[in-house]
Structure 1
Amino acid sequence: MPDVLPNWSDCNQGRRCAPPRGPSPARRPGVRPGGRSRPAAAPAARDKRRIDLHTDGVVVREQYERLARHLQQDGREHVEMTFAQVTRIIGEELPASAYKHSAWWASDPKHTQAVWLDVGYLARPDVAARQVTFIRG
């Protein structure tokens, strides 16, 4: 019978090796077959009920809903705001695309940020002037 080495790391020497003591890597919590560790789950993945407003600098729907509440409370037919005012209301910097592309302000219900539609407004941006006018539709 061939030699059995007591140390698992000596297996590359062409001899038969003894398995490591304790549970196999595939049965250890957090370890994949082959001994690689699983990445830790993100906090939101561990608790799906948790709503994290700040996700790597990305503004989430709840923050944009602050803008919808503001427009609803204002109630005027035309509400003119600077991008800086919008930023203060939502509590987070607008993404760069809001400053560059009027399409960001499009009245598309598929856009997360288009919460103004929920309260009956359309957005008319002036990207060059960094202003937006919300018009009750």
Structure 2
Amino acid sequence: MTGMENGVPHATTVSSFSSLSLTPTYAQVILDVSSRLLGVVERTKRLGINLLADHQKEIGTTCAGKGLDKLRDVTWRESAGLPEIADCAGWLACEATELIHVGDHKIVVARPLEIRSSDRAPLLYHRAEFRRIGESA
């Protein structure tokens, strides 16, 4: 997931992303309340959902870590005012319409403003590891 504030890109890896509604279209992501990116989303009301492709495990690992400049060594472009990671399996530029506080996390209800997909296979996260479709657990 990515965000942009004052021209500075921000990124984090989320383990919980899903479709929420087809009509109208909504998605949801869940972020820890201590997430720097959550603060960016709360202030800007915008987020980018980058569905990593199966060859982008390193990006997923880097963005899951701590640090300020997680996109430093990642190829990305600004799209709809948000960082879009190159060669992703899919991309959603979203408006955050609701933030729901639940325990130590917040659910971000996201209304897509732009949606793009590709033929690339997605990177999956299962049993605490990044995996490819068809890979046994």
- Structure-2-length-normalised TM-score: 0.26
Larger radius of gyration: 1
Higher relative contact order (CA 8 A, sep 6+): 2
Larger strand percent: 2
Larger helix percent: 1
- Structure-1-length-normalised TM-score: 0.26
